[in-house]
Structure 1
Amino acid sequence: MALSFTFPPSPLGWLAPLPLAWLFRAVAALPPRGAFALTFTFAAGFFGVLLLWLPGSLTPLFGPGVAALYPMLVGLLALTWAGTAAMTRQVLGPATLWALPFAWTLLDAARALGPFGFTWGSLGYAFAPTPLVQLADLGGLALVGLLVALTAAALADGRPRALLGGAALLSLGLAYGLTRPPDPPGNARALLVQGNVDPRAKAQGRTTDELGRYLALTRSGLTAGPARLVVWPETAAPAAPSSPEVARALTALDVPLLLGAPTEEGGYRNSVYAFEEGQVRGRQDKVRLVPFGEFFPGRKALDGAYRALFRALGLPALTGTVPGRTLAPLPVANLRVGALICYESTFPAFARAQVRRGARVLAVVSNDAWFGPSVGGEQHFQMGRVRAIETRRWVLRAGNDGVTAAIAPSGRVTARLSRGVAGVLPVPFAETGTWTLYVRWGEWVTALSALALLGLWLGTRGSRAKRQFGRRFLAEWWPVINRNSSRSGG
């Protein structure tokens, strides 16, 4: 549980290796079953506190029935930690302590994969408020997480050589983080718009009042000066800008615009549009959907069960969102903007893919109003902030009720609006064209961790073979040697 209090928005990230060291040391001393039980309890406490905002945020919207999903999620996440600890203990044996950091790196990488990917609680985010997070431009979030885990292993080991090695790693990481070059100055101006529309009103039916609110806020923001780009949040417009009514309203603004809007094309799609000079210049559909929020596994086969669940929660018979299939920067205002839609901003691979395909600026459009006033929205924001560091790109973030902010390539928040208010935020930004080592090489830390585990496993097999040889030698040859020695008078 103590580990959860070191994750953002807490400023105590430096302390994250301490509770993890206790866990690693205990796992290395227990048999696999004991390691499983202890780690499950530890992880349940960790995720239970880290995600405590979930039932509090969703119950007012969907009723108390949704709170039953919270312990299920915590239990599933705890199982992934417990399984990793038990398997590492079983396979690596005496090398368990130093194998755990690499096993955890693989676990965090695996948790980001597939339709059920969920990166809350990835170890690297613990160091997000510290200068050590600057290592993310070398190896992504995985490198930062590996540093957290290796520091914990060094503390758990406790021997002077291990402690010195851990201190050296932290010192090198700190030196790198504190010597990064300054952010490039912002030479362009963007206008970020925060409408603060009640999500319950959206769920009951979209209206033109929402569009009117965003139009009015944008006009008021433009009175202070022109903007090269205006960014509206996820699902800000009630209909796609390809519809005549919305297109006319946006054309009258006479400004390059990036906006979230629904698309009806083979089903409902959550989209971001680039709109300029009266035309749609591009569209990006949300690729990574929220499990059981935007997509429902086996929806057709389990139709009866889902309908019963939705009735219990007071919801209509939801069918889910059609996922996007491709990621490509959107052309607007002579820029190539990589759009990340809400949940996608918590996955390093999505920002990296956009930059590799030419994005020179990143834009996060979100609707965190579902989180309510809880800490969940701030956690979401702080996780997305790391994408700026990994790619060394400016990130322009527009949220329905927040967090609306501009983030420099160093991860520094240059400006942000208060949450829960309607307003506009003019911010400077700049294009960046270089590729970081992480953008170029991707998840090399994960591959390195797999090789490290393989090496440790081969080492334990070698040690085991040596012990077996020694026992066989003593059993079979020592009596012969001893007998011969006796005959010779030795």
Structure 2
Amino acid sequence: MMKRWFQFFKQKAYDFRWAILSGVLVGTSYIPFPPWALIFCYAPLWVSVTDEKTSVKDAFFAGWVTQFILTLIGFHWIAYTAHEFGQIPWVLSIVALLLFCAFMHLYIPAATAIAVWMKRKFKISAGITLVMIALLHSLLERVWPAIFDWNLGYTLIWAKIPAYHLADVVGFLGLSTIILLLNAWIAYIWLQQSVLKKAFTHLGALVVVVAALVISGNIHGQGWNKFDGEVHATVIQANIGNLEKVYAEQGRGYQESITRRFTTLSQEAFVKFPNTDIFIWPETAFPDYLDQHLLGRKHTNILAEAMGAIGRPIITGAYSKDEKTDVKVDQSTYNALFLVDAQGNNLDKPYRKTELLAFGEYLPLSERFPILLKWLPFVSNFGRGHGPDVMKWKFNDDVIAWGGQVCYEGLDAAFTRGLEEKGADILVNVTNDSWFGYPFEPRQHLYMTLARAIEVRRPLIRSTNTGISTAILANGDVLQKSPLHEEWSGEFVLKYLKNAPSTFYVKMGHWDWAVYIAVLVLLALVGAVNARSRRS
């Protein structure tokens, strides 16, 4: 029996060898790996499915194998998170990881299967099929539901390849589309290897295109070296343990300890950085409510006493609650971002987190079926804010609008476009990545967040509980980065442009998907016409 199973898996491994290779290439080219196979990682899979003998079913399973392997490599931290955050035994955490790998990126096999179906139905050439796979992949990855959206475009900013500067034109999803089309081009060159002259001509053209993208990106990025304002912001990274965070959230202690740790670190930081204009604390750093109508509580008094002598405002994550007007109504608690003075007085209304984490901050379907909350009372259920929105701060003779992102709201390009449209001068992201291990997710999350600054060309400062805290200017310069899982403080000089113009991406570039759909329809029509002419 064992021998039979071994032979079965051996044969399947051989049948899907190119799909396995693509999975490895994609998985080892994404953050935090160097982008060594970025423009050819999907080529083995796509070349294999263009074979005339490949059925739609085989194309789907080949794509599924690729997505399973790349997910296992790049997002293996899901098992750690399930164990650490959900307190799930390691065996079940690994099962959760395998289920995640099985379903998380099904748009990859869907793209290959649809393209192969169209190829077989309309007798489309292999070259056009490759372009269709790339475009379908690009379109489907935009709509496929995912907790942790990612794409290959982010690798450019991680690797400091200057083409990332073009994200203010087409966004990082647009850059991902360009990378996918380059993969299709490499695959086509491989298919033309028997015609060396044609293959080398295409290879030379591809080199020219890649060089043009790099050079034009570098030149384009230099156009954003314009600043007429600056503010000195100090980030406090207190490295609070997960158990302390959970108990503080549940009101089971540690609130005073956490509050004093942040205030003490801020006092020490002010000695090092006396020019600090404002402090930035991370997500839920202040472990209590900080609304104006709830000041005077024990922990806000500790805050005021410790920070009063410093006299500097704070942007901090904390909890928020509506002022009760009806004691019979259960008021929601919000994961919020506050702009307060040294005594805790609100300088503007808090921003309440809008994009909530499924199962971590809300129970899916519970808004429609409240009974689920009674059945599963251990799942957190935060209120949902109405963002995106900005917090305005009178600074010297100016007013700075801070565009708040709480945790992975920084991954949502549409959310950040909304902040820019609301007039944000500086983006501020507060995060707690302590649940995700080391070193993959913190770096992936970091650069996916920094990417938003390039799309809208606004500086972004990121304050985290355990790292990585940093800042990026509108020109793409990434400033100092904090260590992981250590107490740390650092001052950032945030240079910004007052009344900065909107980027092309904000105004029109995010509609690039309409162009891809039009090209797909055109290719399908051409294929259908050619198929009909061959039958007549």
TM-score range, shorter chain: 0.7 to 0.9
Matches of 1:231 and 1:405, distance apart in 2: 11
Q: Decide whether the 8 Å contact of 2:360 with 2:380 is kept in 1.
A: no
Q: 1:230 to 1:388 in 2, by over 3 A?
A: same
Q: 1:92 to 1:431 in 2, by over 3 A?
A: farther
Q: 1:378 to 1:118 in 2, by over 3 A?
A: same
Matches within 5 A, 1:189-268: 189-206=232-249, 207-223=255-271, 224-242=273-291, 243-244=294-295, 245=297, 246-248=299-301, 249-250=303-304, 252=308, 253-265=310-322, 266-268=331-333
TM-score by length of 1: 0.87
Match of 1:356 among 414, 421, 429: 421
Which residue identity is paired with 1:196?
A: N
Runs of at least 5 residues in structure 1 that lack an aligned partner in the other structure: 308-315, 470-490
Question: Shift of residue 41 of structure 1?
Answer: 0.3
Match of 1:102 among 115, 127, 135: 135
**1:70 counterpart residue number:** 97
Match of 1:163 among 203, 208, 212: 203
Q: Decide whether the 8 Å contact of 2:233 with 2:278 is kept in 1.
A: yes
Q: 1:444 to 1:14 in 2, by over 3 A?
A: farther
Instruction: Using the TM superposition, name which of 135-144 and 370-379 deviates more.
Output: 370-379
Tell me the matched-pair count: 456
**1:416 counterpart residue number:** 481
Instruction: Using the TM superposition, name which of 62-71 and 280-289 deviates more.
Output: 62-71
**1:174 counterpart residue number:** 214
2:395 maps to 1:335? no
Q: Decide whether the 8 Å contact of 1:137 with 1:436 is kept in 2.
A: yes
2:230 maps to 1:187? yes
- Structure 1 consecutive aligned stretches of length 4 or more whose deviation exceeds 6 Å: none
**1:144 counterpart residue number:** 175
Matches of 1:122 and 1:162, distance apart in 2: 26
Q: Decide whether the 8 Å contact of 1:275 with 1:282 is kept in 2.
A: no
Q: Decide whether the 8 Å contact of 1:366 with 1:400 is kept in 2.
A: yes
2:364 match: secondary structure? coil
Question: Shift of residue 163 of structure 1?
Answer: 3.2
Question: Shift of residue 92 of structure 1?
Answer: 4.9
Q: Percent identity?
A: 21
Cα deviation 1:436-488 (Å, max 9, x = unaligned): 2112214122221111111111111111222233xxxxxxxxxxxxxxxxxxx
Which residue identity is paired with 2:265?
A: L
Matches of 2:341 and 2:507, distance apart in 1: 32
Which residue identity is paired with 2:349?
A: G
Cα deviation 1:298-338 (Å, max 9, x = unaligned): 3447849964xxxxxxxx62242222222111112421011
1:191 match: secondary structure? strand
**2:66 counterpart residue number:** 42
Question: Shift of residue 124 of structure 1?
Answer: 1.5
Question: Shift of residue 429 of structure 1?
Answer: 0.7
Matches of 2:439 and 2:226, distance apart in 1: 33
Q: 1:201 to 1:357 in 2, by over 3 A?
A: same
Matches of 1:264 and 1:443, distance apart in 2: 35
Question: Shift of residue 80 of structure 1?
Answer: 2.5
1:365 match: secondary structure? strand
Question: Shift of residue 152 of structure 1?
Answer: 0.4
Instruction: Using the TM superposition, name which of 149-158 and 447-456 deviates more.
Output: 447-456
Which residue identity is paired with 2:27?
A: S
Which residue identity is paired with 2:60?
A: F
**1:85 counterpart residue number:** 112
Match of 1:123 among 152, 155, 158: 152
Matches within 5 A, 1:457-472: 457-469=524-536
Which residue identity is paired with 1:407?
A: I
Which residue identity is paired with 1:188?
A: V
Which residue identity is paired with 2:274?
A: G
Matches within 5 A, 1:360-399: 360-399=425-464
Question: Shift of residue 227 of structure 1?
Answer: 2.0
Q: CA RMSD in A?
A: 2.2
Matches of 1:119 and 1:26, distance apart in 2: 29
Match of 1:6 among 19, 25, 29: 29
Cα deviation 1:411-451 (Å, max 9, x = unaligned): 33211211111121101112231222112214122221111
Q: Decide whether the 8 Å contact of 2:290 with 2:320 is kept in 1.
A: no
**2:79 counterpart residue number:** 55
Which residue identity is paired with 2:286?
A: A
1:324 match: secondary structure? coil
Q: Decide whether the 8 Å contact of 1:233 with 1:260 is kept in 2.
A: yes
Matches within 5 A, 1:317-328: 317-328=378-389
TM-score by length of 2: 0.80
Matches of 1:145 and 1:104, distance apart in 2: 10
Q: Decide whether the 8 Å contact of 1:329 with 1:337 is kept in 2.
A: yes
1:409 match: secondary structure? coil
Matches of 2:402 and 2:519, distance apart in 1: 37
Q: 1:131 to 1:153 in 2, by over 3 A?
A: same
**2:328 counterpart residue number:** none
Matches of 2:76 and 2:371, distance apart in 1: 29
2:411 maps to 1:346? yes
